Chain A
């Protein structure tokens, strides 16, 4: 079933992926790869993970028919996959529980992570509290400012949040800093990477931990509609919620897979994070994929209203899905994402994360062009609580 994108060689998706890292990290990546393969073959690992996903994280998440949004758009039927209802408020917990179990198996007692929107940082801090592990989270200063609520949550959970002041002080810079920590403390530390990025085995492993999204969604839509959706729509930062939602549908050729990148505030380099329209293949932070870069191979700055999509590269499996045209990639601007947030809040009583709002924006764009027999399945990767500061400002909401 997964054969459609079976890796040609380990860690490669077509030409993309691989391992471009300092030599010091290779042994740790090998160790992780082996530990992961062993865990995959161990029924006890799956039992533990499944019970945590069910009893702790709150899986399965509902597939909800958004009738008022559907009606207001007057086209395709819209279903929302409610990853926003998970513990900690986003899909990120799926991967964090899996990797925390692996860290415990490997005997690593110190966890480091990067975070953009703070959702991965919160999920990491959460599993570290749950398993009694030391936790250090690197976060760009710009992201700490705009996602301050999540900084408090991480600290509440006992994590140390280390501000990163290099570059654009966002996700890419936090990953650089986490990798520097890992190179230094590699013997005792597990790097709990938060998306389908980085060197092998991360893109494969993180994808596998999120496949549950699509597995549930496929079963749920068949139960409710007795047929497959016309399209799955998900936002793409590094690409973990999207690949998780897409993966089980890849062999279903009639199902369109639509990834939505951050269109930011313009199409000039530096004003967005649309890697497929504005980037070209290159190596960043361990993997070969599409990268926003200048003509000298220097990585470009990016912009998005949503911290979780504000990143210069994209998971290598998405690069392969893009080139093979199995998935389509488009973008939504900051303004469209803000509109979509408001619209979903007012029609369905659901405030999505600004990241997820990019997927909602694409749904709003295409639903009216489809007919009522079409079904759109939108992955709501997270909830918007963390974004209330930005939303209050951008939408001029008044407070006390």
Chain B
């Protein structure tokens, strides 16, 4: 299943000029198992139906050192519920059948994958119909075996590119990425911010020289204004902590509809303010 943005099947996803009509593509991150598996399932469907092109299904981890307080709390709640990598894969398999057009990415730290077994994990992810994998603490230098396993199972490796990555690294990152490249908007952990820094646009411009893949900008995108701004220079925006904060505040019953409203709001329909993330 190809990873496609802005619900335009078959579109060669890169756009070189000024974004695309209808705003950038939307990648929605949710922590699986927060507040519980059944609710995550409903949230995921609601997010796709509201216009998310790609879902990042977050695997909760005990030591999420790249995450801010919002996703840390979500991980803690999910772990308290006993959420395992198995459950994330099972959720993906269900979504693949119910929403065949959505891109599905597993978003995780490396240790749960190692413990599951790299090969077992890739086989199970392929079986579930997962499109790609993003491991937060995997860098290209360490990735030989990892890339091998992903390739054998037709999973797209998605890597992070950072404002601090020099051009030579961006070139390597671009060369091994498939699906899209994830450009981190600023130095820092996940979490909301007031405004986008100049880092993001510069990074996307530098990355463009090395890849025709879509470039998604993430970290700190929490408002329709951010979303529109990203559309000016990138193909897609990743929204994570703002969604997770919405889920946290809405509670299990209202979370799916709140997420849907939030995503529609990003697309510029209803201009409701982002939930402030703490």
Residues of chain A touching chain B, judged by Cβ–Cβ distance below 8 Å, are 18-28, 166-167, 172, 175-176, 179-180, 183-187, 281-286, 291, 293, 295-299
User: A20 touches which one: B64, B115, B142, B173 (CB < 8 A)?
Assistant: B142
Q: Is B270 an interface residue (CB 8 A)?
A: no
User: B137 touches which one: A21, A28, A295 (CB < 8 A)?
Assistant: A21
Q: Collect the chain B residues with CB atoms within 8 Å of residue A293's CB.
A: 111, 115
Q: Are A284 and B111 in contact (CB under 8 A)?
A: yes
* Interface-facing stretch out of B11-19, B43-51, B162-170, B207-215: B162-170
Classify chain B: how many residues form its interface, as a range.
Answer: 35 or more
Q: Collect the chain A residues with CB atoms within 8 Å of residue B67's CB.
A: 180
**Chain B, 104-131, contact with A by CB distance < 8 Å: what is the 0/1 string?**
0000011111111000000000000000
Q: Collect the chain B residues with CB atoms within 8 Å of residue A184's CB.
A: 187-189
**Chain B, 130-146, contact with A by CB distance < 8 Å: what is the 0/1 string?**
00000011110110000
Q: Collect the chain B residues with CB atoms within 8 Å of residue A176's CB.
A: 63-65
| Consensus secondary structure, chain A interface | mixed
| Consensus secondary structure, chain B interface | loop
- Chain B nearest CB from A380 CB (Å) reads 32
User: A187 touches which one: B63, B141, B166, B187 (CB < 8 A)?
Assistant: B187
Q: Collect the chain A residues with CB atoms within 8 Å of residue B137's CB.
A: 20-22, 283, 286
Q: Are A183 and B188 in contact (CB under 8 A)?
A: yes
Q: Collect the chain B residues with CB atoms within 8 Å of residue A24's CB.
A: 160, 162-165, 184, 187-188
In the complex, which residue of chain A has the Cβ closest to the Cβ of B169? A26
Q: Collect the chain B residues with CB atoms within 8 Å of residue A285's CB.
A: 63, 65
- Chain A nearest CB from B191 CB (Å) reads 10
Within 8 A of A (CB), among B167-200: 169, 173, 184, 187-189
Q: Is B154 an interface residue (CB 8 A)?
A: no
Q: Are A27 and B164 in contact (CB under 8 A)?
A: yes
A-B contact count (CB 8 A): 112
15 residue pairs bridging A and B, Cβ less than 8 Å apart: A21-B139, A22-B137, A22-B160, A23-B162, A23-B173, A27-B162, A175-B65, A180-B67, A183-B66, A283-B111, A283-B114, A285-B63, A291-B111, A296-B84, A297-B116
Q: Collect the chain A residues with CB atoms within 8 Å of residue B142's CB.
A: 18-20
- Chain B nearest CB from A32 CB (Å) reads 13
Question: With A22-B136, A167-B62 in contact, do A180 and B189 touch (Cβ < 8 Å)?
Answer: yes
Question: With A285-B65, A298-B112 in contact, do A20 and B164 touch (Cβ < 8 Å)?
Answer: no
Q: Collect the chain A residues with CB atoms within 8 Å of residue B163's CB.
A: 24
- Chain B nearest CB from A267 CB (Å) reads 21
User: A282 touches which one: B66, B115, B173 (CB < 8 A)?
Assistant: B115
Q: Collect the chain B residues with CB atoms within 8 Å of residue A185's CB.
A: 187
